[in-house]
């Protein structure tokens, strides 16, 4: 066999070995065997010096060509194996992406507080600030300063929670109710406290809990959440009250809704009105949801009664303003068609997690 034939044979055998290699390890073994320091090809190249000078160049060139070709075959195979390995890895890495993700669930805000915050934000945009007051009040702030007559039925101990008064005044207190201290029945005392503490212009919104002696049932709770609004300034009018509440109601319930103002009576506003929003279901035509009226009562409002302004030392000839109060639970019930408002105070995770 000539050396040329030998080289040819080495070439073919090496080629076959690379081709047969199916993984990086066998390919590496083949590389060592056919291209390594101890390979036949390397020996051949080392043995070139023993050849006749005229042969040396030819054979050397040939041997280097073989080496180059084998090297290229090796590199190709290596790349092919790498590609295959990557493809296999990708294939095996396919996921059932429908499986649930991994997370710690973030918490939820209580529906009522979320609505109170949302409504507050609307008023912040109109230049109102947030005001808060105590939940246990005295008769003066809750009733008297708000122009409630001494025998106003809301004062009745069947409607209002009374709290034991531990001051010395309790001994001499002589009223039809058990005490002068009570759980506030509305957020309106915040009006009084705000007007006592600051001078007009006053623009406040005051969300908070209020209490009335109702037995808890699907539509009543002894506790609910009210949002009180008060604006006192030099030129505020009934038209401004209408404009403000119409704007706010549309923001809460949707631009397509409309409002109507029905004259009503509240001790602390004059003139007073109740405000209805057009029924979401029938848009005013009348349906079962709105009891055929086309309208749903949503809040009470009015121009601040001059007696209230006088009670807090504001001149009613110089300043006038308006006040309003809305029930947050009412908004929630309308939005979510709540089947039972006791859900709001049970702390049932299955309920809370929905918001």
Partner 1 sequence: MRVSLNWLHELLPGLPLQKYSLAEFTSRLDLTGTGVEGVISSGQALGGVMVGQVLVRDKHPNADSLWLCQVDVGGAEPLQIVCGAQNFKAGDKVPVATVGATLPGGVTIKKSKLRGEVSCGMNCSARELGVGEDHDGILILPEDAPVGAPFAQYYGLADTILDLEITPNRPDCLSMRGIAREFGAIFETEPAPLPQPELHESGAPVAQAATVTIDEPELCPRYTARVIRNVKIGPSPAWLAARVEAAGARSIDNVVDITNLVMFETGQPLHAFDLDTITRDNEGRAAVIIRRAHDGEHVTTLDGQDRALITSNLLITDPAGPITLAGVMGAEHTEITEATTNIFLEAAVFDPETTSRTSRRLGLLSEASMRYERGVDRCYTPAALDRAAALMAEIAGGEVAPGIIDVYPGPYVAPRLTLRHERLTTLVGEEIPFDFCVESLGRLGLQPEPDPATRTIAVAIPAFRPDLEREVDLIEEVLRLWGMERITATLPGAQAHAGGLTRNQELERRIGEILRASGCNETMTVPFGDPADYAAFSREASTEAPFVELHNPMSSEQSILRESLLPNLLHSVAHNLAHGVSNVQLYEIGSVFRTAPGRKLPREQKRGCVVLTGAWHDARWNDPAVPLDFFDAKGIYENLIAALHIERAQFKPPATDDAYPWLQPGRAAEIRLGGNVVGVIGELHPSLLERFEIATPTTIFDFELDKFIKAAHDQLVLTAPSRYPSIMFDLALIVDASTTAESLTQRITSLGKKTPLASVELFDVYTGKGIDPGSKSLAFHLLYADPERTLSTEEVEAQHSRLVQTLLTQTGARLR
Scan residues 53-112 and list those touching partner 1 (CB under 8 A). 99-100, 102, 104-110, 112
Number of residues that bind partner 1 (CB under 8 A): 98
Among 4, 42, 144, 223, binds partner 1 (CB under 8 A): 223
DSSP state of 311: H
- Cβ proximity of 34 and 14 under 8 Å: yes
Site for partner 1 in 303-322 (CB under 8 A): 303, 305-307, 320
Contact 245, 301 (CB under 8 A): yes
With CA atoms as reference, report the closest residue to 137 among 221, 216, 219, 206.
206
The answer to whether residue 42 forms part of the interface with partner 1 (CB under 8 A) is no
- Between CA 266 and CA 14 the distance in angstroms is 103
Closest CA to 323 of 254, 258, 227, 250: 227
Selected from 18, 34, 161, 324, the binder of partner 1 by CB under 8 A is 161
250 binds partner 1 (CB under 8 A): no
Q: Judge whether 278 and 295 are in contact, CB under 8 Å.
A: yes
Nearer to partner 1, 50 or 167 (CB): 167
Rounded to the nearest 10 degrees, what angle do helices 3-20 and 53-92 cross at?
10
Interface pick for partner 1 out of 53, 90, 171, 239 (rule CB under 8 A): 239
Under rule CB under 8 A, residue 130 binds partner 1: yes
Asked if 6 touches partner 1 (CB under 8 A), the answer is no
The H or E element spanning position 62 is helix 53-92
Q: Which of 68, 243, 254, 339 binds partner 1 (CB under 8 A)?
A: 243
**Sites for partner 1 among residues 261-300 (CB under 8 A):** 261-265, 270-274, 286
Candidate residues 1, 52, 53, 349; the one interacting with partner 1 per rule CB under 8 A: 349
Distance CA 247, CA 64 (A): 90
Min dist CB 340 to partner 1, Å, is 14
Stretch that binds partner 1, among 13-21, 71-79, 84-92, 227-235 (CB under 8 A): 227-235
Q: Which is nearer to partner 1, 78 or 264 (CB)?
A: 264
Token pair, residue 169, equals 């005044």
Judged by beta carbon, residue 78 or residue 260, the one nearer partner 1 is 260
- Residue 144 contacts partner 1 per CB under 8 A: no
- Sole binder of partner 1 in the list 169, 217, 315, 340 (CB under 8 A): 169
- φ, ψ of residue 225 in degrees (nearest 5): -120, 125
Q: Which two tokens stand for residue 117?
A: 């915050």
Q: Does 22 bind partner 1 (CB under 8 A)?
A: no
Those residues whose C-beta lies under 8 Å from the C-beta of residue 342, and which sit 6 or more positions away, are 216, 217, 218, 221
Query: What distance in Å separates the CA atoms of residue 70 and residue 57, rounded to the nearest whole number?
Result: 20
Judged by CB under 8 A, which of 19, 62, 78, 129 binds partner 1? 129
> Residue 19 in contact with residue 34, Cβ under 8 Å?
no
Residue placing its CB nearer to partner 1 in the complex, 44 or 142: 142
- The SS3 assignment for 263 reads strand
137 binds partner 1 (CB under 8 A): yes
Q: Which is nearer to partner 1, 26 or 258 (CB)?
A: 258
Q: How far apart are the first and last CA of the chain?
A: 88
For partner 1, the binding residue among 33, 55, 81, 163 (CB under 8 A) is 163
- Whichever of 263 and 313 has its CB closer to partner 1, that residue is 263
Q: Shortest Cβ distance from residue 15 to partner 1 (Å)? A: 47
354 token code pair: 């929905």
124 binds partner 1 (CB under 8 A): yes
The DSSP result for 145-183, as a single string, is GGT--TT-GGGSTTTS-EE---STHHHH---SSS-SEEE
Q: How far is the CB of 200 from partner 1 (least distance, A)?
A: 9
């Amino acid at each position: 066999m000539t050396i040329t034939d030998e080289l040819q044979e080495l070439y073919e055998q090496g080629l076959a070995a690379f081709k047969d290699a199916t993984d990086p390890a066998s390919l590496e073994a083949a590389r060592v065997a056919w291209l390594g320091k101890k390979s036949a090809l390397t020996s051949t190249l080392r043995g070139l010096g023993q050849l006749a000078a005229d042969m040396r160049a030819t054979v050397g060139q040939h041997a280097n060509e073989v080496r180059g070709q084998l090297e290229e075959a090796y590199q190709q195979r290596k790349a092919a194996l790498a590609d295959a390995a990557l493809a296999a890895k990708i294939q095996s890495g396919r996921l059932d992406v429908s499986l649930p993700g991994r997370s710690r669930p973030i918490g939820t805000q209580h529906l009522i507080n979320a609505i109170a915050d949302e409504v507050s934000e609307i008023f912040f945009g109109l230049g109102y600030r947030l005001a808060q007051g105590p939940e246990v009040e005295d008769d003066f702030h809750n009733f008297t300063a708000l122009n409630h007559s001494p025998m106003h039925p809301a004062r009745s101990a069947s409607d209002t929670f009374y709290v034991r008064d531990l001051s010395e005044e309790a001994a001499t207190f002589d009223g039809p109710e058990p005490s002068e201290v009570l759980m506030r029945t509305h957020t309106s005392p915040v009006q009084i406290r705000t007007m006592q503490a600051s001078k007009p212009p006053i623009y406040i919104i005051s969300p908070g809990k209020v209490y009335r002696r109702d037995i808890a049932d699907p539509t009543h709770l002894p506790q609910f959440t009210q949002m009180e609004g008060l604006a006192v300034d030099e030129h505020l009018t009934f038209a401004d009250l209408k404009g403000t509440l119409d704007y706010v109601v549309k923001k809460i319930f949707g631009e397509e809704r409309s409002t109507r103002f029905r004259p009503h009576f509240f001790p602390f506003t004059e003139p007073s009105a109740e405000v209805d929003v057009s029924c979401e279901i029938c848009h005013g035509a009348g349906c079962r949801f709105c009891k055929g009226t086309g309208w749903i009562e949503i809040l009470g409002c009015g121009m601040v009664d001059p007696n209230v302004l006088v009670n807090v030392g504001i001149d009613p000839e110089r300043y006038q303003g308006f006040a309003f109060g809305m029930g947050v639970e009412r908004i929630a019930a309308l939005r979510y068609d709540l089947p039972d408002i006791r859900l709001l105070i049970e702390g049932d995770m299955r309920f809370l997690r929905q918001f």
